Amino acid sequence: MMEEIIALLRKSETLLVTSHANPDGDAIGALLAMGLALKGLNKRVTLYNESPIPAVYRFLPSVDAVCGDIPAGQRFDAAVVLDCGDMTRIGERFTLLKEIPRVVNIDHHLTNTGFGHYRIIDPGACASTEIVFRLLKRMEIPIDSDIATSIYTGILTDTGSFRFANTNAAAFDICAEMVERGVIPHEVARHVYGTYSLGRIKLLNMALDSLEISVNGKLSLMTLTRNMFEETGTHLEDVDGLINYAKRIEDVRVAALIVETRNGRSGNARGDVRRFHVSLRSDGSVDVAAIAAAYGGGGHAAAAGFGIEASLADLKLRIIDWANGL
Ligand code: AMP
Ligand code: MN
Ligand code: MN
């Protein structure tokens, strides 16, 4: 499949490159690395992401080339979709892909639905940026320091700085090569982990304050509501990494973080029903991708998520009930 994808990319003139909404370092790193590589081949490339780029990733090269909208009527020979387990992860505009004659799906999620005409899906890859790296190598595209920084950041963040279960030999090999190609690790770390807004620290305080533990001690649960975001002047991007505090607690096997993603509806029969995103992390003994998939989401065995409309009380009960059966 890789050879077919290479032939397709070489013959395409206009390309859409995109990754999932509310992007993490891997989604942005893969988007930028792929975009820079294709631009180097003199392709007309549109880099699209539905959400604003989180502040901590705004140092990345060419980040301003990512647009949050696609001009109406624009035609593409092909699309490259990165780090998305299913098409809808792109966001509201996912239906646009139906109008593009060739769609390439590059991803490492266990739950990938296999959408698109061409795919490289490797759950053994530590990050989508690992697969992008392999593709660029096979295409003999030179990896300059800008591409290297994007790939390095994707692998660094998706492996939780080489701490998570997806950390493989390739993560170290590729990152070592990226450093040889000009990446300065302490500078990347300073941007990604070293500089937080005051609001983000206050949000962390609220997240810690919301902590609940199931009776059997196997689940830790944190909750962030719209009110907390408003009070601290923070956004969804500021949630990144908070769940790891819940996951670290002794004896906890599964950590859950409930995040209210939209303001509640009022005045209808389902009064207190609101929209939430639930992030799940496990210590490896529980497959959280399976439970996320049961709720229409997905992910990896040790890190998964899903969206749901429910009342907060009901959602918490469901999660705690499930955990008490662990
Ligand atoms: P998060 O819960 O956003 O920290 O994401 C954890 C992992 O689960 C990531 O690999 C996501 O791509 C995946 N994931 C999160 N939410 C969803 C969803 N609604 N559908 C499919 N995969 C998801
Ligand atoms: Mn991602
Ligand atoms: Mn990823």
% of residues, the chain, pLDDT over 90: 95
Is the CB–ligand 1 distance for residue 305 below 6 Å?
Answer: yes
Residue 264 in this model has a pLDDT that exceeds 60: no
Mean pLDDT, range 204-220, rounded to an integer:
97
* Distance from the alpha carbon of residue 201 to the mean position of ligand 3, in angstroms: 25
- Residues of CATH 3.90.1640.10 domain(s) within the chain? 2-193
* Distance from the alpha carbon of residue 307 to the mean position of ligand 1, in angstroms: 9
Closest CA to 21 of 81, 80, 71: 81
Neighbours of ion ligand 3 (CB under 5 A): 26, 83, 127-128, 158
This prediction has a pTM of 0.93
Closest CA to 181 of 137, 131, 139, 120: 137
Is the CB–ligand 1 distance for residue 108 below 6 Å?
Answer: no
Q: How far is 25 from 10, CA to CA, in rounded Å?
A: 27
pLDDT bin (cut points 50, 70, 90) of residue 262 is confident
pLDDT per residue as tens digits for the range 311-323: 999 999 999 999 9
Beta strands 212-213 and 118-121, pairing class: unpaired
> Running DSSP on this structure, what letter comes out for residue 304?
E
Q: How far is 83 from 203, CA to CA, in rounded Å?
A: 27
Residue 263 in this model has a pLDDT that exceeds 70: no
* Distance from the alpha carbon of residue 304 to the mean position of ligand 1, in angstroms: 5
> Running DSSP on this structure, what letter comes out for residue 85?
S
* Distance from the alpha carbon of residue 26 to the mean position of ligand 2, in angstroms: 5
Structurally, what CATH architecture does the domain formed by 198-323 represent? Roll (3.10)
**Which ligand places an atom closest to the C-alpha of 277?**
1
Residue 59 in this model has a pLDDT that exceeds 80: yes
Residue 267 in this model has a pLDDT that exceeds 50: no
Residue 105 in this model has a pLDDT that exceeds 70: yes
Element (H, E) at 305: strand 303-310
- Residues of CATH 3.10.310.30 domain(s) within the chain? 198-323
| All residues at 6 or more sequence positions from 68 whose CB lies less than 8 Å from its CB, including other chains | 48, 49, 50, 51, 52
CATH T-level assignment (fold) for domain 2-193: inorganic pyrophosphatase (n-terminal core) (3.90.1640)
